Amino acid sequence: MKHFFTDRKLLIYRIIGIMLIFVFLVCDFILVLKTNSGIYGQLPTYGERLSHYYSYFTTQTNYLVFVYFVFYLFQKKFKNTKPDFIIRLMVTVYITMTMLVFWLGLAVQGDIVTNMSVYEWISTFILHTIIPIAMILSYIVTAGDTFYKFEIHHKTNYWLICLYPTLYLICILIRGYIRHSDDQPDNTLFPYFFLNFYATNGFALLAVGSVLIFTLCTSFQYFYIWINNLFYFRKQIKENNITKVDQIKIMINIKQHRQLDQKGKIAMILAILVAIFNIIFSVLYYLYRDMWSKILNYPYQKELVLVFSIIISIFSIITLLFSILGLKNFYWARIVVGFCSIALVCFNWIWILGPVFDIIIATLCLNNHKYSKADLDAYLATNQQPLKYKAKIIPNEIISFDEDEK
């Protein structure tokens, strides 16, 4: 299998891949300008057609993959380096979201491909399957050069990667509002059905779709980081660099003994109270949906209200359980509570102060304190190896503390 993935053959594969993607994107671009079928048949000018074409997250992410492959080829050929890990992670997460959201949408709305021509179906399959898989394989082949810490990611680069989907969502909603004000055809307002807040129960559907996008964006980031770290361990073991592997394992194990500080306790207690309130509120919201509909002067569908209430309850129950674990010093429980609180921001606006509490909880949970001497002592006390041996293999950066922690 190795002779298929030599540096020279990988270079050839990438050049062929770039050429094929370029030819396909050009053909797809021309088709948009020339076709008179489907949505594009309702858009008379080239400007409107291009505006609609590039409003798709699919289009933008596929162009992003093409630019990434060109950039990677340049870096590898002339500088013998790879693009930064965060860039690779970012592009892979986006294109994976493109692939999964499309196939989920196809499962929900199976009729979206009924009126497609043969070329349109081929185009759709390439954009949502072939190119995403090519990018995922590229990421896997280049993964494992360095060990990437989860705790560093969710403090900095996590938000950077989430920025693009957030800005995309804002821009698309503004674009849809402007087109609606100009009395444009309803099916050309938004590229995706779950973004159409003008539809019946559109705001609820938008909230559900936003949470789904956020959840996918978060899940894929940490999944691909885990893949990278898994490949890193395999490379170190293959190179017989056992000491390096042991150091990282100790660094990870110390997290399990990290003591909950005062801010963390406040966050967990607040999360428990908010979660309990959310569960009670979601039940009351469903039981008294007719009253809410009259107060808000907004029509509803019973099934959608039920889904809305279930989503709030699920996230709240998860938050409640992991908050209890967080109080028992489970490090990853605090991270889960932080991300669930961010997801609930999309729903808790109903009781006005909900998003404020969620943001406070998320900030306290994700802004973790550094390792303290008590954390290290707790780890050493539970480890059965001799203390002298442990002192030799623990990296300096782990046992160095702030002045106030010494």
Q: Rounded distance, CA 49 to CA 320, Å?
A: 47
pLDDT value of residue 257:
55
Give yes or no for residue 394 having a pLDDT over 60: no
Q: Which two tokens stand for residue 41?
A: 């048949």
Percent of the chain with pLDDT strictly greater than 90: 17
Contact predicate 44/52, CB 8 Å: no
CA torsion through residues 122, 127, 129, 134, sign: positive
Neighbours of 258 (CB within 10 A): 23
Query: Which residue reads 């003008």 in tokens?
Result: 198
Q: 55-79: per-residue pLDDT in tens?
A: 999 999 999 999 998 888 877 666 6
CA-nearest of 335, 391, 387, 389 to 363 is 335
Q: What is the pLDDT of residue 286?
A: 76
Count other Cβ atoms within 10 Å, centred on residue 201: 18
Which pLDDT value is given to residue 3?
Answer: 55
Q: Which residue has the higher pLDDT, 238 or 161?
A: 161
Q: Provide CB contacts within 8 A for 76, sequence distance 6+.
A: 11, 14, 82
Q: How far apart are CA 335 and CA 330, in angstroms?
A: 10
In the chain, what percentage of residues exceed pLDDT 70?
A: 72
Q: Is the pLDDT of residue 400 over 50?
A: no
Mean pLDDT of the chain: 77
User: When comparing pLDDT for 370 and 66, which is higher?
Assistant: 66
Q: For position 196, what pLDDT does the model report?
A: 87
Bigger pLDDT: 113 vs 49: 49
CB proximity list for 205: less than 8 A, separation 6 or greater: 193, 194, 196, 197, 199, 304
DSSP symbol at 212: H
Q: What is the pLDDT of residue 369?
A: 55
Of 77-86, 104-113, 124-133, 207-216, the range with the lowest mean pLDDT is: 104-113
207-213: long-range contacts (C-beta < 8 A, 24 or more apart)? 207/308, 207/346, 207/347, 208/307, 208/308, 208/311, 210/169, 210/346, 211/311, 211/343, 211/346, 211/347, 212/101, 213/97, 213/101, 213/165, 213/169
CA-CA distances (angstroms) from residue 10 to 77, 80, 243? 12, 13, 31
User: Which has more confidence, 352 or 228?
Assistant: 228
Distances (CA, A) of 205 to 7, 194, 197, 275, 302: 47, 6, 8, 22, 13
**Lowest mean pLDDT across 249-258, 345-354, 357-366, 368-377:** 368-377
Kindly tell me if the per-residue pLDDT of 401 is higher than 50.
no
Contact by Cβ (8 Å): 358, 271: no
Task: Give the angle 98-105-32 at the CA atoms, nearest 5°.
Answer: 65
Compute the distance between CA of residue 406 and CA of residue 376 in angstroms, rounded to an integer: 12
pLDDT value for 91: 95
Average pLDDT over residues 236-246: 70
How confident is the model over 289-333, as pLDDT tens digits? 777 666 655 555 666 667 777 778 888 899 999 999 888 877 778
Determine the pLDDT at residue 317.
92
pLDDT at 108: 57
pLDDT, tens digit, 9 for 90 and up, residues 171-223: 999 999 998 888 888 888 898 888 888 887 777 778 778 888 888 888 899 88
Taking 60 as the threshold, does the pLDDT of residue 403 lie above it?
no
Neighbours of 52 (CB within 10 A): 22
